[in-house]
C-alpha cells in the first residue's frame, strides 16, 4: 500500500492550523473535506483558507488559475459522515482531550475501515486519543507547524499501537505535500515542543526577573543564533494561551519544574493578552 490509497483527506477543525493543513493538502492535489462545529466557525475557517490563498497570489506564489483549482478541491461540511470516503482524516480542533476523544470515537464509526486517523495535537498523548477508537493501529500524530504553508517540518508521532504500515503511508503522504518528515516519540511535546517550551519559558523567566529586556532577549536569539524570530515574539506568534496550555500539560505529565508556566505567562493569559491574535502579548500589535 502507498499514499496513493489516500486521495481524499478529511480535516476536522478549520482554525489556524486546520486551515493551513487544508490549504497545503488541496494545493498538493488532494480532494479535501473540511468539518467544523457550526456554520459561523465553518465560514470563518473558509475565510482563513481563502485569505491565505489571496496572500499567496499577492506574494506572486500562486496564479489565479491555480487558486481556483485549489479552491475547487475543497468541500466544507458540518456533517462528520462526509468523511466516509476519506483515506486519511486529520483532526486539528482545540487542545482538549475529552473533545478529541469524542471526535475520534465519531470518526471511528463513520470512516472507512482502512482509513488512517491522525491528530495534530501539539502535546497531548496520542495513544490516549487513539484509545477512543477500535483501530489504534491506524491512529497516529501528524504534527504541523505554524504557518503551515511556510514551515517544512511534519512530526510523525507513532504510538506503541500504531502499525508500521500506517506510519509508512503517513510518511508518503507527508512527502507528497512537500513536508520533511521526522519520527517523534509519543511523549509530551514530541521533539519540537519538548525543546521549544523550556526555551520559551526560560526567556519569559529571564524577562520577568528584570535582568534582560524583551527586545534584547529577542535580538540576542535572532542575531546570536540566527533564528527568524526571538522567543518572546515567537511565543506571541504561537499564542500565549497555546504556549501556557502546552506548558501546563507537559508539567502535569512530567512533574518537571522546567515545564511549569511562569507567573507572568499565566497573568498574560488571564488578561487575554494572547499575542498576535488578540493584538497584545509581549508586544503590542494594535
Ligand atoms: N503563509 C504562507 N507562507 C508564509 C506565511 C504564511 N502565513 N508567512 C510567511 N510565509 C512565507 C513567505 O511566502 C516567504 O516565502 P519565501 O521565502 O519562499 O519567499 C517566507 O515565508 C518568509 O516570509 P516573509 O519574508 O514575508 O516573512 P518573514 O521572513 O518574517 O517570515 C515567518 C515569516 C515564516 C513566520 C518567519 O518569521 C518564521 O519562520 N518564524 C518562525 C515560525 C516558527 O518557528 N513556527 C513554529 C512555531 S511552533 C509550532 O507551530 C508548534 C505548535 O505546536 C506550537
| Beta pairing, strands 31-35 & 8-12 | parallel
> Quick check: CB of 122 below 6 Å from ligand 1?
yes
Classify 141 as helix, strand or coil.
strand
pLDDT tens across 232-277, in order?
A: 999 999 999 999 999 999 999 999 999 999 999 999 999 999 999 9
In this structure, which residue's CA is closest to atom 42 in ligand 1? Answer: 146
Q: What's the topology of domain 194-278?
A: 1.10.1040
pLDDT at 202: 98
CATH architecture of the region 3-185: 3-Layer(aba) Sandwich (3.40)
Distance CA 120, CA 156 (A): 10
Sheet holding 74-77, edge to edge: 74-77, 31-35, 8-12, 88-91, 116-119, 139-143, 153-158, 180-185
Q: Which is catalytic among the residues 23, 52, 143, 247?
A: 143
Q: Which is catalytic among the residues 122, 125, 170, 247?
A: 122
Treating both helix axes as pointing N-terminal to C-terminal, what angle do 64-72 and 39-58 enclose, rounded to 10 degrees? 160
Classify 115 as helix, strand or coil.
coil
Residue span(s) of the chain under CATH 1.10.1040.10 come to: 194-278
Residue span(s) of the chain under CATH 3.40.50.720 come to: 3-185
Atom of ligand 1 nearest to the CA of 243: 54
Residues of the chain with pLDDT below 70 are: 1-4
> Quick check: CB of 120 below 6 Å from ligand 1?
no
pLDDT at 1: 41
Question: Does 120 participate in catalysis according to the annotation?
Answer: no
pLDDT at 28: 98
Question: Does 227 participate in catalysis according to the annotation?
Answer: no
Element containing residue 88 per DSSP (H, E): strand 88-91
> Quick check: CB of 25 below 6 Å from ligand 1?
no
pLDDT at 286: 86
Question: Does 122 participate in catalysis according to the annotation?
Answer: yes
Amino acid at each position: 500500500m502507498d499514499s496513493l490509497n489516500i486521495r481524499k483527506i478529511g480535516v476536522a477543525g478549520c482554525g489556524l492550523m486546520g486551515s493551513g493543513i487544508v490549504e497545503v493538502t488541496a494545493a498538493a492535489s488532494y480532494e479535501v473535506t473540511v468539518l467544523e462545529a457550526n456554520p459561523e466557525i465553518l465560514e470563518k475557517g473558509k475565510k482563513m483558507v481563502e485569505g491565505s490563498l489571496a496572500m499567496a497570489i499577492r506574494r506572486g506564489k500562486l496564479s489565479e488559475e491555480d487558486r481556483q483549482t485549489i479552491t475547487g478541491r475543497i468541500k466544507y461540511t458540518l456533517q462528520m459522515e462526509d468523511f466516509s470516503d476519506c483515506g486519511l482524516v486529520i483532526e486539528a480542533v482545540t487542545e482538549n482531550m475529552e473533545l478529541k476523544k469524542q471526535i475520534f470515537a465519531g470518526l471511528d464509526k463513520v470512516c472507512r475501515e482502512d482509513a488512517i486517523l491522525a491528530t495534530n495535537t501539539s502535546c497531548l498523548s496520542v495513544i490516549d486519543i487513539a484509545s477512543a477508537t477500535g483501530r489504534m493501529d491506524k491512529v497516529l500524530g501528524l504534527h504541523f507547524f505554524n504557518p503551515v504553508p511556510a514551515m517544512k517540518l511534519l512530526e510523525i508521532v507513532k504510538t506503541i499501537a500504531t502499525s508500521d504500515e500506517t506510519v509508512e503511508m503517513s510518511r508518503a503522504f507527508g512527502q507528497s505535500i512537500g513536508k520533511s518528515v521526522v519520527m517523534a516519540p509519543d511523549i509530551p511535546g514530541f521533539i519540537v515542543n519538548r525543546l521549544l517550551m523550556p526555551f520559551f519559558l526560560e526567556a519569559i523567566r529571564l524577562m520577568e526577573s528584570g535582568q534582560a529586556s524583551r527586545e534584547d532577549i529577542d535580538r540576542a536569539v535572532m542575531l546570536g543564533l540566527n533564528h527568524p524570530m526571538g522567543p518572546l515574539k515567537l511565543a506571541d506568534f504561537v499564542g500565549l494561551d497555546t504556549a501556557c496550555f502546552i506548558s501546563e500539560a507537559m508539567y502535569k505529565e512530567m512533574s518537571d519544574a522546567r515545564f511549569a508556566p511562569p507567573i507572568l505567562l499565566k497573568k498574560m493569559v488571564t488578561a487575554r493578552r494572547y499575542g498576535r491574535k488578540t493584538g497584545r502579548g509581549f508586544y503590542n500589535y494594535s
